[in-house]
Chain A
């Protein structure tokens, strides 16, 4: 059984890049070796020197190129939900429910099977990714892929009957690439989450909604003075006291 997750042919673009991504450590090692060799070569002169310099500069070029290789990641998260696969599928596949359980991501409908995933506007940068549902089968799976190459991601959600009478195993397998490593890393630090966290917390919220009927929270509960560190953290995470404020009714006691 093949599930289609490639949307590129529709846009006449290259498929998910098949070049393997290099890790940052390898890139740094390459750069360092290149610098050392090039330096050595330029210092020594002569035939050996020229060879070393040539080799060194090639490694330098590789190192710089590696830093711009696609940043690649994989997400695999599973949760078991105590409801039948069809019921979970119907709830999860309905775009009207997405705002209720998706974490840190808003979804806007852009037409048939087309959606825009928005991660808000952290630090003034508009983060949006166009996404298409590429394949789905009721009660079994939904597959999606991003429709542009700026931030490539694709994945599948499976709904499988869990062993015994435990309900449904919901499994998400996804992979993502961003064209420049540093940019993707900056992305996660800007919005304060990484893709695995988004997927995992969204699935957890889905489970909590379907089983318990509500998502547990402590936002808005009372607390004592948070002190200097607490105030600093509020500034760092850009939480204002008004953001969590809930209309409090003064009760007897104070």
Chain B
């Protein structure tokens, strides 16, 4: 089959690899019909995530049709159309049973690697480095899904792929980010980062009852999409001091909750940004937490900082004193996918939201390597790339 493989820093390519096979009794093989490139794939592309090897198949947002099942798979059968969450959970450990699905104990075969780095290993992910399991990902024509009964969500007839594909990652991620803000009537939520996760966080915040959402970014097309979702937009390149601007916009209080939908590749200008960039270059710093610093300083006293943005290492120069003084609540982590997929599918099915609004590029798998660069550099007004692994590339 064809698969998109990581080949080195800023180098990915489509290769011909073996088809996946059933390795454990609870596996299923999915014939992938649609898959997408995620913002966190860009961290892999740019070489920020350790334990990647050339030949690793990328991709963790995918859906398709079941074509084979292991002997212990009871709920799925061949022909079922399913969405696959990007986290892999066993369903039986303490964490899975307590709805903390992305903290599953039992799915990472390389748990020792994660434990070396973080002390504990969370659940494995598809296509996201050997430390997080080393599972072959979904930017391919077929994929092997472990613990298929636990993860795969069947899709009802008549709902197009594009409407439900994002239940595999970004919609639940944006939704959990908004839910973690503990939104109450009358609340104002500020969201840094209007990429796909931020876009879903905006719409989820309104679904959860926020009165106002302030969306912060610098790219016109992303701000435009944010405004279409009902948010007030703020281009941080046009203001001197973002924190002061937010105070001004919220009657001197600051937003009730702040969502950091940017993560470790925060972009910025000025002395602090230069400091973060140079540390990353010299490999003494893992993340560029520019946005997180702003969120902590901007939130109102007693407010919540919600962090769906990915971080990997040890943060530097955090205004923790401000955080303590203000009594902030911090909520973060990988999305507990299995909590949200079914309820959000229902919202899509009932017509409350059509997630396909976020797609700007529809390409074949062969065009994916170019698309990574386009997506990373935000060219061509790119916001979300969806791939059809069975489509032939258009003739040049």
A residues neighboring B (CB under 8 Å): 80, 82, 166-167, 197, 200-201, 204, 207-208, 211-227, 229-230, 246-251, 253-254
Contact B57 A220 (CB under 8 A): no
Contact of B3 among A167, A208, A212, A224 (CB under 8 A): A224
B23-36 vs A, Cβ < 8 Å mask (1 yes, 0 no): 11110000100000
Shortest beta-carbon distance from B368 to chain A in Å: 13
Cβ-defined contact, A226 with B108, below 8 A: no
B112 touching A200, Cβ below 8 Å: yes
Given contact pairs A207-B106, A251-B1, A214 touches B17 in the complex (Cβ within 8 A)? no
Give the distance in Å from the alpha carbon of A223 to the alpha carbon of B20 in the complex: 9
Q: Which residues of the partner chain B approach A213 to less than 8 Å between Cβ atoms? A: 25-26, 72, 92
Q: Determine whether the beta carbon of A251 is less than 8 Å from that of B142.
A: yes
Contact A221 B112, beta carbon cutoff 8 Å: no
> Does B318 sit within 8 A of A, measured CB to CB?
no
When A216-B124, A217-B109 are in contact, do A222 and B24 touch as well, CB less than 8 Å? no
Kindly list chain B residues whose C-beta atoms are within 8 Å of the C-beta of A208.
Answer: 90, 105-106
Question: Helix, strand, loop or mixed for chain A's interface?
Answer: loop
A-B contact pairs, 26 of them (CB 8 A): A82-B94, A200-B112, A212-B107, A213-B26, A216-B88, A216-B133, A216-B146, A218-B133, A219-B23, A220-B23, A222-B20, A223-B55, A223-B56, A223-B136, A224-B5, A224-B13, A226-B54, A227-B7, A248-B18, A249-B21, A250-B19, A251-B1, A251-B31, A253-B1, A253-B19, A253-B142
A213→B91 CA distance, assembly (Å)? 11
With CB as the reference atom, state the residue of chain B lying closest to A227. Answer: B54
Report the separation of the CA atoms of residues A214 and B6 in the bound assembly, to the nearest whole angstrom: 29
Q: A82-B93, A216-B124, A246-B21 are in contact. Are A223 and B57 (CB under 8 A)?
A: yes
- CA A216 to CA B124, docked complex, whole Å: 10
A154–B53 Cα distance when bound, in Å, is 39
Interface string of B95-110 (1 = CB under 8 A from A): 0010000000111110
Contacts of B15 in A (CB 8 A): 224-225
A186 to B347: give the CA distance in the assembly, Å: 60
Task: With A213-B92, A218-B133, A248-B21 as known contacts, state yes or no: A254 contacts B105, CB within 8 Å.
Answer: no
Task: Kindly provide the distance from the CB of B86 to the nearest chain A CB, expressed in whole angstroms.
Answer: 16
Most buried by A among B20, B94, B108, B142: B94
A-chain residues with CB within 8 Å of residue B92 when the two chains form the complex: 82, 211-213
Within 8 A of A (CB), among B132-153: 133-136, 140-142, 144, 146-147
Q: How far is the CA of A218 from the CA of B134 in the complex (A)?
A: 7
Query: Contact: A212 with B106, CB < 8 Å?
Result: yes
- Bound Cα distance A224, B146 (Å): 20
The answer to whether A224 touches B93, judged by C-beta atoms less than 8 angstroms apart, is no
Question: Contacts A197-B112, A251-B142 known; A218 to B19 CB distance under 8 Å?
Answer: no
- Identify the closest chain A residue to B29 (Cβ): A251
- A254 B1 Cβ-Cβ under 8 A: yes
Nearest A-chain residue to B23, judged by Cβ: A220
Q: Say yes or no: is B77 at the interface (Cβ < 8 Å to chain A).
A: no
Residues of A within 8 A of B387 (CB): none
Closest to A211 in B: B92
Is B16 an interface residue, CB under 8 A from the partner? yes
- A192–chain B nearest beta-carbon distance, Å: 13
Q: Which residue of B3, B21, B91 is within 8 Å of A220 (Cβ)?
A: B21
A219 to B94, CA, bound (A): 26
Closest residue of chain A to B72 (Cβ to Cβ) is A213
| Closest B residue to A219 using CB positions | B23
Closest chain B CB from A113 CB (angstroms):
31
Find the A residue at minimum CB distance from B88: A216
**Complex CA distance for A82 and B55, rounded to whole angstroms:** 36
Do A251 and B19 contact each other (CB < 8 Å), given the known contacts A212-B93, A213-B92, A216-B124? yes
Q: Using Cβ atoms and an 8 Å threshold, which residues of chain A touch B134?
A: 218
Assess whether B18 is in contact with A225, with CB atoms less than 8 Å apart: no
Distance of A240 Cα from B325 Cα, bound (Å):
59
Q: Check if A254 sits within 8 Å of B2, measured CB to CB.
A: yes
Min CB distance B55 to A, Å, is 4
Contact (Cβ within 8 A) A254 B93: no
Q: Say yes or no: is B111 at the interface (Cβ < 8 Å to chain A).
A: yes
Q: Could you tell me the distance in whole angstroms from the C-beta of A80 to the nearest C-beta in chain B? A: 7
Contact assessment for A166 and B19 in the assembled complex, using a CB-CB cutoff below 8 Å: no
B-chain residues with CB within 8 Å of residue A220 when the two chains form the complex: 21, 23
Considering the complex, give the chain A residue whose CB is closest to the CB of B56: A223
Is the pair A217, B19 in contact by a Cβ cutoff of 8 Å?
A: no
Q: Which residues of A contact B133 (CB under 8 A)?
A: 216, 218
Task: List residues of chain B with CB within 8 A of the CB of A201.
Answer: 112
